[in-house]
């Protein structure tokens, strides 16, 4: 399995998921007025992101993959704000994938806001400065006497004004300013940031206009369906394609490497036909012998049996130690112990994995719904024997990501097929069963907790033995726990240990990675500890958090005052009065966002009905696009409920995943959604952060804690077993 790790997505994703990094753009690249790499009407380009059109509309390049998180509107809002445009002037185009030109282009880790808040505004501010300089020269007056408004430079004392369009050619030859020194607006004067803007593609979506990767259609395009080794990590020993090739429309059968087995091996057989329907039918005739003896021994049953033994032993390694947990527990007034666990999960985005590729004249052109196209470029180039710069990657709209498309297996496969048939565009498409069985799963995990309270009910000691998946003493992708996992940083005596088991499964980041599971185990356990202290969870959290202060972390700082702020806000809005039947609370800090949530539920005909969820979040001083923020927060809440309440669990037998379709892995449907979800934001004086993920984690413990308050049954594993 170490090959899998070696070939895994590398450090930049890990770094991007950690969040908080502020990117510095290279002005000499970003501000060079060359062609914007999108197809559209001609106009004067000011820099990599901005083109001013003759009608004084301004085309802004949206650089990040759009998976439904709203980034295609959010990033242009930052540029338009500092450029001083009226939103009605703005036209938005998706750029190609080109990190040398645009900086990082990743949809992951809720990083787009913290990473781009300053750089995108600087890009807009630089354009504005160049337009002002051009007007000053034209009028022969001091630029300091000029102002801008709604796409025009104005001279307030004379009332003169010139549109950006009339200045564009002059502005384009101005020397671009130093980005770091560009004057930015006083945040109190924002006219676009903080105002609701609808999704730019919505009018097309409601009419079925082709936008998604799966909709890509090129002249003469052929189609590919895949057959992958059911047991992850298995490779092709041999295959007999004679019967497949006899099927109508079939053009070829080839074995390729999807990027997760050693180079030189194949784990995927591809059937190419003149229609995907034909390719899909023909693959049923394919006979493949797999080399998979080393991986068929892995199963859910084995993990559960092994974890039960391992968790009872001493941890293999220490994650974090503070004070002396054992000595404190020995003298504690009360000790609480509990075991928690959660299963593997699939992402199941609704658009199945797909990618279109064309190899021509030594260059590879790709149309991909990828959350991390730069990683796909590297991996695809490597497996195709090309240089990364030989690839052009067009970013399509994406029918759901949730982390699945941080992996680029579909791109790697499409690239290799295209390379084998120069001049012929090919679209590879997984079906739903392929998608379920060859996902990169949220890893399962097991926890053995011990907590100690003093005579006053204060949390004085905390221990966890976390059993997860790893190789060579290191967690595999998405299987780690942070040493600073909440509430460890605010407890005086802590001992977090970890042990690793092996798996053949490819694992990956699922929306709010690690936190989606950690929130459940930690905040459910904290509800138990709070009860032992004679308190409700919000009050117990307030006391545990202590005075408002910033706690430094290796990569991320945690502010106890901001945590306290959302806890107080949600309790006030929901009218929290302490422990009540049918109410539960959860708080979590993830992806730089602080969220506290309360779930109200009732029982109807023996079924749990969620009446209302209350959400209070702190993502800093600005909620850039409130209309989208509400949609994201509500979607996160319902997504989180799905992980807990409707039986989501990926089961493995003989090395392979058993789920075939939505009948085996339920997704939330409208009739299970809460009747109401109230969302509020607590504004604090910190730079804004992302919202695609942090509203998800707290709802899971809030739901579990609410069920406990209603039924008296404490749930310590996901999915919640409601029978």
Partner 1 sequence: MSITLTVNGRKRTVAADADKPLLWVLREDLDMPGTKFGCGAGLCGACTVHLDGDAVRSCQTPIADAAGKSITTIEGVGLNELGKRVQDAWIALDVPQCGYCQAGQIMSATALLKQNPKPTPEDIDGWMSGNICRCATYMRIRAAIRTAAGLPAEETAA
Produce one character per residue of 277-288: b if its CB has 16 or more CB atoms within 10 Å, e if not: ebbbbbbebbeb
Judge contact between 380 and 364, C-beta under 8 A.
Answer: yes
Q: Which two tokens stand for residue 232?
A: 């992850």
Window of 151-159, 229-237, 256-264, 424-432 that interacts with partner 1 by CB under 8 A: 424-432
322 versus 672: smaller Cβ distance to partner 1: 672
271's CB contacts (< 8 A; 6+ apart) are: 224, 225, 226, 227, 244, 250, 252, 253, 279, 280, 282, 283, 286
639 binds partner 1 (CB under 8 A): yes
Window of 233-241, 534-542, 583-591, 624-632 that interacts with partner 1 by CB under 8 A: 624-632
How would DSSP label each residue in 311-333? TTS--SEEEEEES-HHHHHHT-S
The gap from C-alpha 6 to its chain's centroid, in whole angstroms, comes to: 22
24 versus 661: smaller Cβ distance to partner 1: 661
41 versus 196: smaller Cβ distance to partner 1: 196
Residue whose C-alpha is closest to residue 83's, from 163, 184, 172: 184
226 versus 332: smaller Cβ distance to partner 1: 226
627 binds partner 1 (CB under 8 A): yes
198, 220, 422, 473: which one binds partner 1 (CB under 8 A): 198
670, 685, 712, 721: which one binds partner 1 (CB under 8 A): 670
205 binds partner 1 (CB under 8 A): yes
Residue whose C-alpha is closest to residue 70's, from 628, 667, 648: 628
211 binds partner 1 (CB under 8 A): yes
Tell me whether the omega of the peptide bond preceding residue 507 falls within 30 degrees of 0, making it cis: no
Window of 96-104, 371-379, 486-494, 637-645 that interacts with partner 1 by CB under 8 A: 637-645
147 binds partner 1 (CB under 8 A): no
398 binds partner 1 (CB under 8 A): yes
For residue 513, give Cα distances in angstroms to 34, 339, 449, 629, 657. 38, 21, 21, 20, 21
Window of 164-172, 323-331, 468-476, 633-641 that interacts with partner 1 by CB under 8 A: 633-641
Q: x/- binding map, residues 513-552, to partner 1, per CB under 8 A?
A: ----------------------------------------
CB atoms within 10 A of CB 29: 15
Produce one character per residue of 86-115: b if its CB has 16 or more CB atoms within 10 Å, e if not: eeebbbbbbbbbbeebbbbbbbbbbbbbbb
For residue 625, give Cα distances in angstroms to 77, 637, 678. 9, 18, 17
Window of 29-37, 113-121, 463-471, 660-668 that interacts with partner 1 by CB under 8 A: 660-668
632, 648, 689, 705: which one binds partner 1 (CB under 8 A): 632
575 binds partner 1 (CB under 8 A): no
19, 43, 61, 68: which one binds partner 1 (CB under 8 A): 68
Window of 153-161, 164-172, 413-421, 623-631 that interacts with partner 1 by CB under 8 A: 623-631
330 binds partner 1 (CB under 8 A): no
Report the Cα–Cα distance between both ends of the chain, in Å, rounded.
38
143, 323, 400, 483: which one binds partner 1 (CB under 8 A): 400
Angle (CA) 688-693-696 rounded to 5° is 125
For residue 258, give Cα distances in angstroms to 117, 238, 478, 555. 36, 17, 20, 32
475 versus 565: smaller Cβ distance to partner 1: 565
270, 677, 700, 707: which one binds partner 1 (CB under 8 A): 677
Window of 88-96, 438-446, 578-586, 666-674 that interacts with partner 1 by CB under 8 A: 666-674
206 binds partner 1 (CB under 8 A): yes
Q: Give dist(CA 333, CA 432) in Å, integer.
A: 54
Q: Give dist(CA 454, CA 332) in Å, integer.
A: 5
572 binds partner 1 (CB under 8 A): no
| Distance in Å, CB of 348 to partner 1, minimum | 7
Rounded to a whole number, what is the largest CA-CA distance in the chain?
83
| Distance in Å, CB of 595 to partner 1, minimum | 15
467 versus 567: smaller Cβ distance to partner 1: 567
| Distance in Å, CB of 681 to partner 1, minimum | 11
564 three-class SS: helix
Window of 162-170, 530-538, 589-597, 622-630 that interacts with partner 1 by CB under 8 A: 622-630
67 binds partner 1 (CB under 8 A): yes
491 three-class SS: coil
| Distance in Å, CB of 349 to partner 1, minimum | 6
| Distance in Å, CB of 606 to partner 1, minimum | 18
| Distance in Å, CB of 350 to partner 1, minimum | 5
Element (H, E) at 147: strand 147-149
300 versus 573: smaller Cβ distance to partner 1: 573
Site for partner 1 in 255-314 (CB under 8 A): 275-277
| Distance in Å, CB of 134 to partner 1, minimum | 36
Four-residue CA torsion sign, 63, 67, 68, 69: negative
Judge contact between 337 and 716, C-beta under 8 A.
Answer: no
Phi/psi region, residue 2 (left: phi>0; alpha: psi -120 to 50; beta: rest), is alpha
| Distance in Å, CB of 31 to partner 1, minimum | 32
219 binds partner 1 (CB under 8 A): no
| Distance in Å, CB of 633 to partner 1, minimum | 9
188, 207, 309, 604: which one binds partner 1 (CB under 8 A): 207
Angle (CA) 67-270-655 rounded to 5° is 80
How would DSSP label each residue in 402-465? TTGGGS-HHHHHHHHHHHHSTT--EEEE--HHHHHHT--BBPPEEEEEEEEE-TT--EEEEEEE
201 versus 291: smaller Cβ distance to partner 1: 201
343 binds partner 1 (CB under 8 A): no
19, 108, 176, 349: which one binds partner 1 (CB under 8 A): 349
Parallel, antiparallel or unpaired: strands 268-273 and 222-228:
antiparallel
580 binds partner 1 (CB under 8 A): no
Tell me whether the omega of the peptide bond preceding residue 487 falls within 30 degrees of 0, making it cis: yes
431 binds partner 1 (CB under 8 A): yes
| Distance in Å, CB of 568 to partner 1, minimum | 16
Site for partner 1 in 466-495 (CB under 8 A): none
The gap from C-alpha 294 to its chain's centroid, in whole angstroms, comes to: 32
230, 352, 445, 497: which one binds partner 1 (CB under 8 A): 352
241, 426, 679, 720: which one binds partner 1 (CB under 8 A): 679
203 binds partner 1 (CB under 8 A): yes
Residue 483: Cβ-neighbour burial (10 angstroms; 0-12, 13-18, 19+):
middle
642 binds partner 1 (CB under 8 A): yes
684 three-class SS: coil
Q: Give dist(CA 392, CA 561) in Å, integer.
A: 47
618 binds partner 1 (CB under 8 A): no
For residue 377, give Cα distances in angstroms to 159, 235, 365, 391, 502. 52, 23, 11, 7, 29
Q: Give the number of residues in contact with partner 1, rule: CB under 8 A.
A: 65
12, 190, 212, 686: which one binds partner 1 (CB under 8 A): 212
| Residues forming the site for partner 1 (CB under 8 A) | 67-70, 196, 198-199, 201-203, 205-212, 214-215, 217, 275-277, 348-352, 397-402, 429, 431-432, 573, 627-628, 630-632, 634-635, 637-639, 642, 661-663, 667-671, 673, 675-680
């Amino acid at each position: 399995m170490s090959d899998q790790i070696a070939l895994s997505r590398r450090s930049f994703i890990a770094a991007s998921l950690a969040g908080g990094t502020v990117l510095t753009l290279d002005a000499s690249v970003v501000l060079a007025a060359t062609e914007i790499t999108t197809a559209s009407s001609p106009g004067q380009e000011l820099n990599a992101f901005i083109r001013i059109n003759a009608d004084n509309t301004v085309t802004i390049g949206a650089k990040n993959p759009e998976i439904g998180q709203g980034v295609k509107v959010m990033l242009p809002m930052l540029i338009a704000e500092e450029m001083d445009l009226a939103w009605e002037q703005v036209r938005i185009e998706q750029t190609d994938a080109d990190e040398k030109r645009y900086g990082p282009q990743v949809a992951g880790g809720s990083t787009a806001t913290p990473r781009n808040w300053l750089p995108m505004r600087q890009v807009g501010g630089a354009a504005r400065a160049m337009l002002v300089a051009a007007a000053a020269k034209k009028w022969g007056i001091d630029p300091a006497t000029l102002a801008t408004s709604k796409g025009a430079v104005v001279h307030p004392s004379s009332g003169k004004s010139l549109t950006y369009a009339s200045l564009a050619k002059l502005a384009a030859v101005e020397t671009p300013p130093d980005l770091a020194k560009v004057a930015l607006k006083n945040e109190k004067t924002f006219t676009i940031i903080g105002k609701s803007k609808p999704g730019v593609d919505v009018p097309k979506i409601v009419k079925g206009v082709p936008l998604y990767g799966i909709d890509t259609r090129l002249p003469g395009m052929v189609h590919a369906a895949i057959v992958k080794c059911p047991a992850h990590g298995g490779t092709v020993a041999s295959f007999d394609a004679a019967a497949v090739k006899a099927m109508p429309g079939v053009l070829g059968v080839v074995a390729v490497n999807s990027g997760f087995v050693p180079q030189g091996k194949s784990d995927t057989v591809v059937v190419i036909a003149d229609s995907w329907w034909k390719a899909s039918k023909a693959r049923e005739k394919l006979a493949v012998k797999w080399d998979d003896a080393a991986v068929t021994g892995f199963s859910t049953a084995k993990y559960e049996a092994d974890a039960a033994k391992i968790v009872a032993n001493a941890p293999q390694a220490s994650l974090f130690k503070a004070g002396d947990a054992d000595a404190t527990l020995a003298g504690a007034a009360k000790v609480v112990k509990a075991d928690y666990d959660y299963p593997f999960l699939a992402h199941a985005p609704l658009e199945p994995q797909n990618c279109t590729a064309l190899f021509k004249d030594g260059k590879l052109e790709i149309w991909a719904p990828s959350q991390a196209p730069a990683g796909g470029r590297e991996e695809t180039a490597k497996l195709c024997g090309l240089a990364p710069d030989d690839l052009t990657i067009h970013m399509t709209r994406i029918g759901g990501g949730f982390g699945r498309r941080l992996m680029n297996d579909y791109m790697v496969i499409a690239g290799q097929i295209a390379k084998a048939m120069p001049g012929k565009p090919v679209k590879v498409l997984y079906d739903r069963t392929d998608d379920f069985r060859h996902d990169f799963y949220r890893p399962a995990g097991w926890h053995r907790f011990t907590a100690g309270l003093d005579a006053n009910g204060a949390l004085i000691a905390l221990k966890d033995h976390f059993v997860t998946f790893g190789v060579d003493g290191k967690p595999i992708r998405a299987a780690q726990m942070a040493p600073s996992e909440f509430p460890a940083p605010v407890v005086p005596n802590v001992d977090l240990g970890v042990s690793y088991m092996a798996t053949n499964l490819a694992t990956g980041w699922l929306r709010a990675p690690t936190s989606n599971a950690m929130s459940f185990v930690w905040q459910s356990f904290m509800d138990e500890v709070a009860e032992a202290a004679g308190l409700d969870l919000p009050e117990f959290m307030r006391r545990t958090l202590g005075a408002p202060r910033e706690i430094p972390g290796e990569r991320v700082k945690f502010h106890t005052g901001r945590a306290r702020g959302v806890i107080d806000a949600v309790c006030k809005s929901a009218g929290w009065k302490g422990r009540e039947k049918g109410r539960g609370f959860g708080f979590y800090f993830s992806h730089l966002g602080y969220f506290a949530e309360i779930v109200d539920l009732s029982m109807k005909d023996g079924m749990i009905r969620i009446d209302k969820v209350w959400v209070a979040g702190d993502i800093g001083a600005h909620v850039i696009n409130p209309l989208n923020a509400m949609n994201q927060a509500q979607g996160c809440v319902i997504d989180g409920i799905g992980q807990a309440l409707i039986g989501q669990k990926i089961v493995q037998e003989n090395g392979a995943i058993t789920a075939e379709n939505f009948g085996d892995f339920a997704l939330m449907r409208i009739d299970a959604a809460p009747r109401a979800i109230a969302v509020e934001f607590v504004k604090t004086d910190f730079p804004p952060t992302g919202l695609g993920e942090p509203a998800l984690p707290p709802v899971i413990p809030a739901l579990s804690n609410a069920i406990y308050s209603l039924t008296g049954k404490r749930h310590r594993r996901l999915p919640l077993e409601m029978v």
